[in-house]
Structure 1
Amino acid sequence: MNFAQLLFPDFSLILCGYLVCRFTALNRKVWEQVESLVYFFLFPVLLFHSIVKSPLDLSAASSLMGAGLALGVGGIALAYSLPHWPWLGKKIDVRLHAASAQVGFRFNSFIALALAEKLAGPPSLLMIAVLIGVCVPLFNVGAVWPMARHANKGFVRELLRNPLIIGTASGLIANLLGFSMPVWLEPTVNRIGQASLALGLMAAGAGMQFGSLASAKTLGALVLAVKHLGMPLMAFGLARLFRLDATQTTILLMFSAVPTASSCYVLAARMGYNGPYVAGLVTLSTLLGMVSLPLALGLLN
């Protein structure tokens, strides 16, 4: 399978978002509203529908959930270990690291959801929804905790209000209770899902900016290495350790290699850290995803 060709349409939408934002009247202020629409409404609906439309076998999904959680813990530990590395650790600004370490383990759910079904068919949407459900709380704790002393809001409340967690948790509960989507509502929900993927990818492109990356090149290179090399290699090992099947392995590898979350810079800026620097790392991560995804899906898979 030619993964580069398979991924091209989605990265074309990211490029379209970048060009539209930079060279038309549809500037960053417009795309901030689009991001909010996708994040708070369209994506939660997609996640809920992806979970409830297929029976959930928790015993069958337990290995994938375990591998996802182990991958998350490993990524967080690796990202936060950087200041303690011999020689390189001395070159890292501790405060800047606290803001940017999240880039090394978080993921862009827009891109993950858009790619899942293309890679492994309809069942993969349920798998990626399960991974999002178990990993988003873990990753958000990992991202917020080191910066929490500078925030005005408790991170527990922020987690409970996360729309992706709400959409996934409500979908899991509805699935286990035997709920099924009414037939008359299916077409509307399907179109909402299609719109969320296209707009989400374009919003990821519109959010790209290179900012002030030159201020800490060593830290940036290490954080991006954790995300685009360390995470896929860990996923490769965990897929074998947990004895995942071919489809689960593909989804876990894709999950490990997608670009980091575009909301990283929003969180850093909101908590009083260097937002422009983190935004630059997010931009580079989006570009590096064009390399790490074919690497993970082609060579490792």
Structure 2
Amino acid sequence: MNYPALLFPDFSLIALGYLLCRYTALNRPIWQAAETLVYYLLFPVLLFHSVVKSPIDLQAAANLIAAGVALAVIGTALAYAVPHLPGLKPHIDRHDWAGTAQVAFRFNSFIALAISGPIAGAEGQLMMAILVGIYVPLVNISAVWPMARGRNTGFVRELVRNPLIIATALGLAANLAGFRMPALLEPTVTRIGAASLALGLMAAGAGMQFASLAKAKALAVSMLLIRHLLLPVTAWLLAWALQLDTTQTTVLLAFSAVPTASSCYVLAVKMGYNGPFVAGLVTLSTLLGMLSLPFALGVLGQLPR
């Protein structure tokens, strides 16, 4: 399968968002409003619908869920270990690390769900929605914890108000309770989901910044190395150890290699950390995703298991 060609439409939307934001009247304030709309309304509807629309066989998905939880734990452990490593410790500013650690293990859910259908069909999109539902609460706790400790603020409020956590929790509960979307509403929520993916990808491109990438190089390289190399390799090892089937392996590998979450910047700013530096890392992570996704799917995905 030609993964670069398959992923081209999604990354072309990211490029389009960047060009529109930089070179037209559709500037950053417009895209900030669009990102807010996607984050608080359109994307939660997509997540809820993705989880609800097909019955979930928890027994069949148990190994995939276990792999997702393990990936979250390992990614968090690797990021948390960085300021304690002997070779890196003298070069890592703990305050910058607290705001940046999230880059290593959070993921761009817009891109994850956008690519899951083309690479793995409807079954793959359901599996990706399940992974998102399991992963979002775990990595949000891991992202907020070091920043909350550094600022002496609680993190429970940040979690319970997260629209992605709310949408996926409601979706899982509704699915297990046997709820199905009424036929009359199906076309509407489907179109909302399609709009959320297109706008979300373009908003990710509009938010790209390059100016702050020269700061704290050791920290930047460490976080991006975890995000785009160590996590895909870890995902392949987990797929092998848990004997995931082909579709589950494809979804887990894609999930492990997507760029970091664009909302890393928003969270860092909200909690008083270095937003421009985090925005630079999000930008570079988005570009590296063009390499890590073909690596995970086309190289690791073809290795014998």
Counterpart of 2:279 in structure 1 is 279
TM-score of the aligned structures, taking structure 2 as reference length:
0.96
- C-alpha contact 1:13 1:198 (8 A) present in aligned 2: yes
CA distance in 2, matches of 1:53, 1:92: 45
Structure 1 runs (4+) deviating above 6 angstroms are: none
Counterpart of 1:3 in structure 2 is 3
Q: In the alignment, residue 182 of structure 1 is paired with which amino acid?
A: P
- C-alpha contact 2:253 2:297 (8 A) present in aligned 1: yes
Deviation at 1:88, TM superposition (A): 2.3
Tell me the alpha carbon deviations over residues 257-298 of structure 1, each in whole angstroms, 9 at most, x when there is no partner: 000000111111111111111110000000000000000000
Counterpart of 1:264 in structure 2 is 264
- For residues 49-198 of structure 1, the aligned pairs below 5 Å read 49-151=49-151, 154-198=154-198
Q: What residue ranges of structure 2 are gaps of 5+ in the alignment?
A: none
Number of residue-to-residue matches in the alignment:
301
Counterpart of 2:217 in structure 1 is 217
Deviation at 1:219, TM superposition (A): 1.1
Q: In the alignment, residue 86 of structure 1 is paired with which amino acid?
A: P
Q: Percent identity?
A: 67
- C-alpha contact 1:103 1:224 (8 A) present in aligned 2: yes
CA distance in 2, matches of 1:69, 1:143: 15
- C-alpha contact 1:208 1:282 (8 A) present in aligned 2: yes
Q: In the alignment, residue 192 of structure 1 is paired with which amino acid?
A: I
Secondary structure of the 2:279 match is helix
Secondary structure of the 1:80 match is helix
Deviation at 1:15, TM superposition (A): 0.1
Secondary structure of the 2:106 match is coil
Q: In the alignment, residue 144 of structure 2 is paired with which amino acid?
A: V
Counterpart of 1:48 in structure 2 is 48
Deviation at 1:154, TM superposition (A): 2.7
CA distance in 2, matches of 1:291, 1:6: 13
Q: In the alignment, residue 192 of structure 2 is paired with which amino acid?
A: I
Q: In the alignment, residue 215 of structure 2 is paired with which amino acid?
A: S
CA distance in 2, matches of 1:117, 1:280: 29
2:240 matches 1:237: no
- C-alpha contact 1:150 1:272 (8 A) present in aligned 2: no
TM-score of the aligned structures, taking structure 1 as reference length:
0.98
- C-alpha contact 2:220 2:281 (8 A) present in aligned 1: yes
Tell me the alpha carbon deviations over residues 232-254 of structure 1, each in whole angstroms, 9 at most, x when there is no partner: 01001001111111000000000
Q: What residue ranges of structure 1 are gaps of 5+ in the alignment?
A: none
Identify the range of structure 1 (246-255 vs 122-131) with the bigger mean alpha-carbon deviation.
122-131
- C-alpha contact 1:211 1:279 (8 A) present in aligned 2: no
Counterpart of 1:299 in structure 2 is 299
The alignment's C-alpha RMSD in Å is 1.1
Tell me the alpha carbon deviations over residues 55-85 of structure 1, each in whole angstroms, 9 at most, x when there is no partner: 1111111111100000000001001111122
- C-alpha contact 1:258 1:293 (8 A) present in aligned 2: yes
Deviation at 1:213, TM superposition (A): 1.7
Deviation at 1:151, TM superposition (A): 4.6
Secondary structure of the 1:130 match is helix
Deviation at 1:157, TM superposition (A): 1.7
- C-alpha contact 1:106 1:139 (8 A) present in aligned 2: yes
Q: In the alignment, residue 7 of structure 1 is paired with which amino acid?
A: L
